[in-house]
Amino acid sequence: QMLAIGKGLMGNPKLLMLDEPSLGLAPMLVDKIFETIVQINKEKGTTILVAEQNAYMALTSAHRAYVIENGVTVMEGTGEELLGNEHVKKAYLGI
């Protein structure tokens, strides 16, 4: 995954799109991937669009987040707002 992210950054893009960057990785590596995503955004100013099923990791790293069900945006807000939403907690975080 790090190699894919590195290759994507070689052209110094304004937007980097990542599809399931945590898929198949050990939890320790998932943390590292998301730390790297946040660092790239901070240091390079690159906008990063992430499609991710690990809702907790995505929301804790996101400035802005959208919940999409069957192709329809059903919720949006900051990552922090969605982490605090009761529906999101029950439906996506298992809390």
Domain extents in the chain = 1-52, 54-94
pTM, two decimal places = 0.83
Which pLDDT value is given to residue 68?
92
Which pLDDT value is given to residue 15?
96
Place of tokens 């998932």: 30
Name the band, by pLDDT with cuts 50, 70 and 90, for residue 3. confident
pLDDT at residue 59 is higher than 80: yes
Name the band, by pLDDT with cuts 50, 70 and 90, for residue 39. very high
Residue closest to 16 by CA, chosen among 43, 27, 31: 43
Residues 10 and 72: their CA atoms lie apart, in Å, by 33
Name the band, by pLDDT with cuts 50, 70 and 90, for residue 64. very high
Q: Cα dihedral sign for 74, 79, 80, 83?
A: positive
pLDDT at residue 54 is higher than 90: yes
